[in-house]
Structures are given as C-alpha cells and as structure tokens.
C-alpha cells in the first residue's frame, strides 16, 4: 500500500496539514498549482500566501474564541502559528503578520523537511486511490470545482457564499421578540416556533430603509456577481429597488401575531432562524449583505429586539467555493462516499486564515494517523478545534449551511454560569479553561512522532 499523503493546495490549510503529517513521520507531497496557474487574489508562488488582510485577529486566549484557536494550534506545534509569531507586527491585542516573509518562511520550512516534497501543477480530478487531502480553498480552480460538483452533486457545492448575519441568542431582547413560524406551520411545537420574530412599526421601518440606503457598502470583485445575483439579492439592493420591496420579501409581516402586543399589526417583521443544534446562534433570514462591517452593526441594531445584539459573524457575499460539509463529510473530514479523500480549510465551510489552518492541522493529523494505522479519538467538542469541526460536520443546519468563523456560540454551555452580557467574562474564561484542558488531553493521546518516513 502506498503510504504517501497527497495534499492538494498549499495554502493555510494545506501547509499546516503537510507539516503535521510530516512530523508524524508520513511522506507528504503538496500539489500546488501556483505559480503555473493563478487565482485573482494570489500574487506569488509561495505557500500560505495571505490574500487580503494581514491579521490573524485577536490573540486573547482567555476571552476570545479565535485567540483560543491560536493557543490550541501553538500547543499542537503548528507551523502557521510558529511562523506568524516569528513575523509578528505590532497590532495591539491582535496578531498581525508581515505577510511576505511569513509566507516565505512557511515555504522554506516545508521544503526543508525531509518528508515533504512540493509539486507544481493543477489537480483537476478526485483520485480513485491513495490518501488525499483537498485544501484548495475559496478559489478552487474551475476544473477541479467541476469535478467535485460532479462527485458531490451540484447543490452540495457552492461557488459563492451569501452570509446573513448571525446573532448570539442570549443577546436578543425576548421582551420585544417572540418565537413563531408563519401561520404556525409545522407538525411539532418545535416547528411551529422555529422562527424568532422582531416587529417594526411604520416609522421604524422607514428609518431602517433610510439607514440601509445610506450605509457604506463594499464593491464586488470583477466576475463575482454573475451566478449569485440569480438567487439572493443583498438587502440593500432590494431596498434600492423600492422602499416596499423588503416588506414584500424577507420582512413581510404576514401570518404572525406578536404576543407582547396582540392587537397591533406589525408593519414589517425581521425573522431569525436557528443556526446550530445547540440553539445558541440565530441567523437573520434573507439578510445577506455587502454593507461594510461597521455599518452592519449600527443598522442591524435598529431592529427592535436586537438593540444589544452581539454578532457571532456579520453578513457578506463573496466568491467562495465550499462544500455542504454537514451532509458530505464524516467526523474525520472524509468524503463519506470516498473515504480516501479528506477536505480541509475554507472549502469545508470554515472561514478565515486561522480557522482554515486549524482544519488543516486536524486533517493532517487524522490522515497521518490513518496511514500509520493509529487510532485517534475524535477531537474533543469542548476545544475550539473540536467545536469547529463538530459544527461543520454535523452541528450546523445542513439546509442553510454557510461558512463559519470560530465563536463561543459553537461551544456547549458551561453548567451553572450566568447567561447574557453580565456573565460574559466569566463564561468566556470558563469556556477557554475547559477547552485548554480538553485539547491538552487530546494531544497527549496522539503525540507527534518525528520518526523516519514510513
């Protein structure tokens, strides 16, 4: 049996996967198409190129979920974090990175490892045998995208994300909002109360439309609009088409009765839908948007019930190739239909440099363990790594699956702690303490080997 691990895509995820597998003693071949074949965002032929911002976001491992992910990757000997730390730029509590020396250092370290080789060239098909990790990212080449779509069914592979903002449930004012599906539809009580509704009167609606029209927006990249415009318009574009458009679209006030004011008919209603099995996250239905992040927070806080909302992630629309992982991948990130193939990084439906590298780290370890015939327990759900992989491979709603950043809404609640804003510091500290213990235990069960290649 061929004991080589092939990794397609030498970005954040592929580079980290290669490092982890190589350090476990497995021979790794990285197949990277750049610089032979380019993308609209990459500029170089280096591995782990950062395509846009140079930030790994918060480095606070006690109060921030992405900072916790940094901690977990450092603890696992992650190459991306080691090189980010070595090329750190001053940025307050954030981890900003000097991008070119960072990418060069990742490339040099991988090329220098005796178990790693890098082959330049585009892979266009899913192979029938051998162990493979596909980590081709949001800009997966067109031919490979078509091949994945053929294998998975075209509805299971998206080429654009259209992300509606996601709110932490415990920051929604339920004295204003209420749970009800339109016309009380559904066979079970859970279905009849599947939506969370925020009512607006005429003045609130008009002010909201004014704010949407005035908000700062981001521009589309060339070629980004074509497929996406068929399906899901950004709310600000709907508002531009007519002041009443939203009231006849995602904000229509029909089939709903506000139990707080049963005699008052709402002029418009914003609906939110549960986004994860834990019920800690709710997405605002139909609210995909290209508004800038600062504008989104102020505009969405005008919605009655969301005045104090905290957002697990804000909305966006981008060119982004990603799988419907909850239906396609098993808990080990293998394609259910072809278990010799794993996926990692942004293509699995996580979003961001750090999250992508984290999923690469897990995929690299899990694939290497499989090649070496070692049993590795599932990553613990209480760690940031485990919370993220659990979300994409099962916890998320498959029907509405959109890419996700790591956030505390993905974590199981810690018993006995206060909800809401007041208890937040204690709660986050409890999450991160619990995560660190769980992650350290898991790592102790699957140490890096550093032995000779198999």
Ligand X SMILES: Cc1cc2nc3c(=O)[nH]c(=O)nc-3n(C[C@H](O)[C@H](O)[C@H](O)COP(=O)(O)OP(=O)(O)OC[C@H]3O[C@@H](n4cnc5c(N)ncnc54)[C@H](O)[C@@H]3O)c2cc1C
Among 4, 6, 7, 14, binds ligand X (CB under 6 A): 14
Q: Tell me if 11 contacts ligand X by CB under 6 A.
A: yes
Check the annotation: does 349 bind a ligand.
Answer: no
User: In terms of CB distance, is 132 or 178 closer to ligand X?
Assistant: 132
Tell me the closest approach of the beta carbon of residue 117 to ligand X, in angstroms.
14
Q: Which of 5, 10, 126, 224 binds ligand X (CB under 6 A)?
A: 10
Contact 339, 328 (CB under 8 A): no
Are 343 and 13 in contact by the 8 Å Cβ rule? The answer is no
Residues 25-54 touching ligand X, rule: CB under 6 A, are 31-34, 39, 41-42, 51-53
Nearer to ligand X, 144 or 166 (CB): 144
Site string for ligand X, 253-272 (x = CB under 6 A): --------------------
Residues from 378 through 437 that contact ligand X (CB under 6 A): none
- Report which residue's Cβ sits closest to ligand X: 11
Nearest CA-CA partner of 380 in 329, 323, 327, 444: 444
Using CB under 6 A as the binding rule, the residues of this chain from 300 to 319 that contact ligand X are: 319
3-class secondary-structure state, position 29: strand
Per-residue tokens: 352: 């961001």
Residues 334-353 as x/- pattern, contact with ligand X by CB under 6 A: -----------xxx----xx
The secondary structure of 183-210 as a DSSP string is: GG-SSSHHHHT-EEEEEE-HHHHHHHHH
Min. distance of Cβ 37 from ligand X in angstroms? 7
Does residue 122 bind ligand X (CB under 6 A)? yes
Q: Does 364 bind ligand X (CB under 6 A)?
A: no
Shortest gap between Cβ of 344 and ligand X (angstroms)? 7
Min separation Cβ 404 and ligand X, Å = 12
Residue 138: CB minimum distance to ligand X, A: 4
Token digits of residue 449: 């080997």
- In the complex, least distance from residue 122 CB atom to ligand X, rounded to whole angstroms: 4
12 is an annotated ligand-binding site residue: yes
How many binding residues for ligand X (CB under 6 A)? 34
Task: State the residues that interact with ligand X by CB under 6 A.
Answer: 8-14, 31-34, 39, 41-42, 51-53, 122-123, 135-141, 144, 319, 345-347, 352-353, 356
Q: Which residues are annotated as a binding site?
A: 9-14
């Amino acid at each position: 049996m061929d004991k080589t691990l092939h990794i397609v895509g030498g970005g954040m995820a592929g580079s980290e996967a290669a490092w982890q597998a190589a350090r476990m003693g497995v021979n790794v071949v990285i197949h990277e198409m750049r610089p032979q074949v380019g993308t609209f965002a990459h500029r170089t032929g280096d591995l782990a190129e950062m395509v846009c911002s140079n930030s790994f976001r918060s480095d606070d491992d006690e109060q921030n979920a992405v900072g916790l992910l940094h901690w977990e990757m450092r603890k696992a000997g992650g190459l991306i974090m080691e090189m980010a730390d070595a090329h750190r730029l001053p940025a307050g509590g954030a981890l900003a990175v000097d991008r070119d020396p960072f990418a060069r250092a990742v490339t040099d370290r991988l090329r220098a490892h005796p178990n790693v080789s890098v082959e330049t060239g585009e892979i266009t098909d899913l192979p029938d045998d051998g162990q493979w990790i596909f980590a081709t990212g949001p800009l997966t080449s067109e031919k490979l995208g078509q091949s994945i779509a053929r294998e998975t069914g075209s509805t299971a592979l998206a080429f654009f994300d259209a992300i509606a903002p996601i709110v932490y449930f415990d920051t929604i004012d339920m004295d204003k909002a209420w749970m009800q599906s339109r016309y009380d539809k559904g066979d079970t009580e859970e279905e009849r109360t599947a939506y969370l509704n925020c009512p607006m009167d005429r003045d609130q609606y008009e002010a909201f439309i004014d704010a949407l029209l005035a908000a700062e927006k981001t521009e589309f990249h060339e070629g980004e609009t074509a497929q996406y415009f068929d399906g899901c318009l950004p709310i600000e574009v709907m508002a531009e088409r007519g002041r009443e458009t939203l009231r006849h679209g995602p904000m229509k006030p029909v089939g709903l009765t506000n139990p707080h004011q049963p005699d008052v008919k709402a002029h418009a209603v914003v609906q939110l839908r549960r986004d994860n099995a834990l019920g800690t996250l709710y997405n605002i239905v139909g609210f995909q948007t290209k508004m800038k992040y600062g504008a989104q927070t102020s505009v969405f806080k005008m919605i009655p019930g969301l005045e104090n909302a905290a957002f697990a992630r804000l909305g966006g629309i981008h060119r982004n190739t990603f799988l419907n992982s909850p239906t396609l991948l098993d808990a080990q990130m293998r394609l259910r239909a072809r278990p010799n193939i794993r996926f990692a990084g942004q293509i699995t439906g996580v979003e961001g440099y750090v999250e992508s590298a984290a999923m690469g780290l897990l995929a690299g370890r899990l694939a290497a363990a499989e090649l070496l015939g070692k049993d590795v327990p599932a990553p613990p759900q209480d760690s940031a790594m485990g919370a993220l992989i659990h979300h994409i491979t099962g916890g998320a709603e498959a029907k509405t699956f959109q890419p996700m950043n790591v956030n505390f809404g993905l974590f199981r609640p810690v018993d006995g702690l206060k909800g809401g804003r007041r208890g937040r510091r204690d709660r986050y500290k409890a999450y991160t303490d619990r995560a660190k213990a769980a992650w350290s235990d898991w790592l102790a069960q699957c140490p890096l080997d550093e032995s000779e290649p198999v």
